[in-house]
Amino acid sequence: MALLCPIVTHGGTMGHDEPVAFGGGNRGEVVPDWEHPDTVAFFREREADVRLTEIVDSGAVRPPTSVLDVGCAAGRNAVYLAERGFPGVAVDASAAMVAATRERLAAYAADAPWRVLHRGMTELGDLADASFGLVLALGVLQNAPDDATFALALDHLARLACPGARVLIQNFGPDSLPHGEPLRRVPGSAHVWSGFDQVDASRGYTLPDPDALDALVTERGMELVAPTRVVWKEMKGGRRTTIIGDYRKRSP
């Protein structure tokens, strides 16, 4: 069962899960343009995700544990980890985000080498099985346009995590009201919803609820480290729900 955290904030920071609007837009709107320089600059300035810093600060994962960061944006989490001696692989579908991440990580190449790959969340087939002790998918899986793509991305995460690896997943929830109106389930889908994207209302996002996300993850050989959290956040004209799962890859 999910741990409900009705944390309401106003404004606040945005992640790779809440694209930055530009050209006169309001940052409370969801207007994706991951190649735009303003978007890249915004993510360069962001601090590392608090869920990640909690795990690292607790000593639950330590260098030289290898990290997979899927949806790395401009390197906000990868740079934090490299500064602390963690090596890894960062992946993003945006060429501009990849370029920014490579530039930022270059300073750590001697002590904490990283590969930064320009590819999508399902294009991980060439990475070796069980090669990462920490796997991050923070605000990226929801961009899967259908259930099959979401499932394939989860398959990759589970395959790439070594036994005992921590796997952090952050995803929007289907009860979000990003523009004040309920989302609409895409007919014939299990977890795909439309109405989230203000520019293209027909675009589907894969948004399993907390119980469904836990089920999808655990059936792939992972277990919950802590109850999955749900955070509610006010947005301009609506509300966003974020599901935060902390899992561990089970040993065979």
Of 31-40, 113-122, 174-183, which gets the smallest average pLDDT? 31-40
If one counts every other C-beta atom within 10 angstroms of the C-beta of residue 232, the result is 18
The predicted structure's pLDDT at residue 47: 93
User: Mean of the pLDDT values across residues 134-160?
Assistant: 97
Q: How far apart are CA 188 and CA 168, in angstroms?
A: 28
The predicted structure's pLDDT at residue 190: 98
Whether pLDDT at 17 is above 80: no
Residue 32's pLDDT band (boundaries 50, 70, 90)?
low
Phi, psi of 6 (to 5 degrees): -75, 65
pLDDT digits (tens, 9 = 90+) for 48-58: 999 999 999 99
- Domain chopping of the chain, boundaries: 3-249
The predicted structure's pLDDT at residue 237: 78
Q: Of 100, 241, 224, which Cα lies nearest the Cα of 172?
A: 241
Whether pLDDT at 26 is above 80: no
Q: Of 6, 3, 54, which Cα lies nearest the Cα of 231?
A: 6
- What are the Cα distances from residue 116, in Å, to 45, 73, 139, 202, 211? 19, 11, 18, 32, 32
Q: Of 31, 73, 65, which Cα lies nearest the Cα of 48?
A: 73
Residue 188's pLDDT band (boundaries 50, 70, 90)?
very high
Fold of 3-249: Rossmann fold (3.40.50)
The predicted structure's pLDDT at residue 53: 96
The predicted structure's pLDDT at residue 11: 26
Q: Of 40, 58, 149, which Cα lies nearest the Cα of 96?
A: 40
Handedness of CA 82, 87, 90, 95 (dihedral sign): positive
The predicted structure's pLDDT at residue 234: 84
The predicted structure's pLDDT at residue 27: 39
Q: How far apart are CA 34 and CA 109, in angstroms?
A: 25
Residue 152's pLDDT band (boundaries 50, 70, 90)?
very high
The DSSP call for residue 250 is P
Whether pLDDT at 169 is above 70: yes
pLDDT digits (tens, 9 = 90+) for 203-236: 999 999 999 999 999 999 999 999 999 998 887 7
Phi, psi of 57 (to 5 degrees): -65, -30
The predicted structure's pLDDT at residue 201: 80
Whether pLDDT at 130 is above 60: yes
Say if CB 167 and CB 161 are below 8 A apart: yes
Mean predicted lDDT score pLDDT of the chain: 87
Q: Of 51, 50, 106, which Cα lies nearest the Cα of 75?
A: 106
Whether pLDDT at 118 is above 90: yes
Q: Collect all residues with Cβ–Cβ distance below 8 Å to 62 and sequence separation of at least 6.
A: none
The predicted structure's pLDDT at residue 9: 26
Q: Collect all residues with Cβ–Cβ distance below 8 Å to 130 and sequence separation of at least 6.
A: 159, 160, 161, 162, 163
Q: How far apart are CA 193 and CA 14, in angstroms?
A: 21
pLDDT digits (tens, 9 = 90+) for 2-15: 433 333 222 222 23
Whether pLDDT at 115 is above 50: yes
The predicted structure's pLDDT at residue 128: 97
